[in-house]
Amino acid sequence: MSEKLWEKGYTVDEEVEKFTVGDDYIVDMKIIKYDIKASIVHSRMLQRIGLLTQEEQKKIEEALNELLQLVKEGKFQIKPEEEDCHTAIENFLVKKLGEVGKKIHTARSRNDQVLTALRLMYKEELEEIKELIVELQKSLNRFIEKFGEVKFAGFTHTRKAMPTDFATWAGALRDALQDDLKLIETAYEIIDQSPLGTGAGYGVPIEVDREFTAKELGFSRVQWNPIYTQNSRGKFEYLLLHVLSHISYDLNRFASDIIFFSLPEIGFLKLSKELCTGSSIMPQKINPDPLELVRAYHHAVISKMIMAASLPSNLIFGYHRDLQLLKKPVIEAIDVVKNILRIMKIIFDRIEVNRERSEASITEEVLATHRVYELVKKGIPFRDAYRMVAEKYGREKD
């Protein structure tokens, strides 16, 4: 039995094979369950159009469900020589069902297989990220209910500027995340197109029921143009990573705020020891390492987004092996964003506000702009009022 779907009777150089496979057989364990589900639906479609008998389809579906269970239980692994999950699935079917198993690849290519599996995964992961954002927003609302009315000096240029409060500060992240939810919905809508049935980018020379497979797999519509279907691999990953980078961007900024506000010299916020780590040399140190990592992970997401924007950009139409390198960074970025959302929820559930230190930060100069507008309300032109107050402090302040 051949181990490779493209087997043509010759042996590839061992080093070349190792190089081209890379760690794809490991990465594909993240998408194999989606490929199995898509294979089940594909077998149903083949039965509908008369390329599988009802008995053959039943055997294939039963075997695929058995494989899915093995995957869920951690009892199945893709072999390096199998290259990817697509080959592993077909090999499993052939070993179990013989000639019937060889029919599963009818009317499809590994190209539309992987696109289908990836998009099913992206949709599911985006739904989970949405749920994590909503949970973080709930934590922010609880923080606001508890500490929202506490005022403190806001900063510009890392210098005290004007008064604000913790309801406004935490509300800024809540509102930013609301915009991120809209971005997720947009990305989801674009990704929610079924590529199954486009083969290697030029369709298949047999009539297939693409609307049936799209509906069965939960896609909102079919992606009809087969060339664009292939071209959208990389484009959709770029879009997804761009959306994820907006989330990591917002968490990055607020991680920096919390680190700054919890400085002993500032003291607006207090991080419990359980949210911090220590130093191996300085016994007094309590470090906000989780927040520093939240901040740093944004740059990791950005780097993966740049890779997705760059890698496919000079390729002519059609599939290229270059695209294999996009799977791992996208999966990693998804995991990163889910993790930092969870960490920020833990932070906001347990962080404390030091009311005394916060309110003490609103010293007289922080109220300078308010003094200007007290004069404006009395009819003094703004610029004159501004200069009058600035003169009081010895120099003009921006």
Instruction: For residue range 189-221, list pLDDT tens digits in order.
Output: 999 999 999 999 999 999 999 999 999 999 999
pLDDT value of residue 113: 95
Percent of the chain with pLDDT over 70: 95
Whether 326 contacts 244, CB under 8 Å:
no
pLDDT at 346 over 80: yes
Q: Which residues contact 150 (CB under 8 A, 6 or more apart)?
A: 165, 166, 353, 355, 358, 359
Report strand pairing: 193-194 vs 221-222. Answer: parallel
- Outline which parts of the chain fall under CATH 1.10.275.10: 14-103
**3-class DSSP state of 203:** coil
User: For 98-145, what is each residue's pLDDT tens digit?
Assistant: 999 999 999 999 999 999 999 999 999 999 999 999 999 999 999 999
- Mean per-residue pLDDT of the chain: 93
pLDDT at 6 over 70: no
pLDDT value of residue 394: 63
pLDDT value of residue 3: 58
Q: Specify the range with the lowest mean pLDDT, choosing from 10-14, 17-21, 137-141.
A: 10-14
Cα 210 from Cα 45, distance rounded (Å): 8
Instruction: Cite the DSSP H helix spans in the chain.
Output: 14-21, 24-27, 32-48, 54-72, 85-97, 110-147, 166-191, 210-216, 226-261, 289-310, 327-350, 355-360, 368-376, 382-392
- Outline which parts of the chain fall under CATH 1.20.200.10: 110-360
Cα 381 from Cα 373, distance rounded (Å): 10
Cα 91 from Cα 39, distance rounded (Å): 13
Cα 380 from Cα 386, distance rounded (Å): 10
Among 160, 105, 135, 186, smallest CA distance to 347 is for: 135
What number is the average pLDDT over the span 358-382?
95
* pTM score, whole prediction: 0.91
Among 198, 203, 235, 230, smallest CA distance to 214 is for: 198
pLDDT value of residue 31: 95
Cα 36 from Cα 40, distance rounded (Å): 6
What number is the average pLDDT over the span 234-241?
97
Give the CATH fold of the 110-360 domain.
Fumarase C; Chain A, domain 2 (1.20.200)
pLDDT at 86 over 70: yes
| Single-letter amino acid code for the residue at 321 | R
Whether 30 contacts 118, CB under 8 Å:
no
Q: Locate tokens 């939960």: which residue?
A: 218
Give the CATH fold of the 14-103 domain.
Fumarase C; Chain B, domain 1 (1.10.275)
| Single-letter amino acid code for the residue at 303 | S
User: For 265-284, what is each residue's pLDDT tens digit?
Assistant: 999 999 988 887 877 777 77
**Helix pair 110-147, 166-191: axis angle to 10 deg:** 160
What number is the average pLDDT over the span 384-393?
90
What number is the average pLDDT over the span 39-53?
98
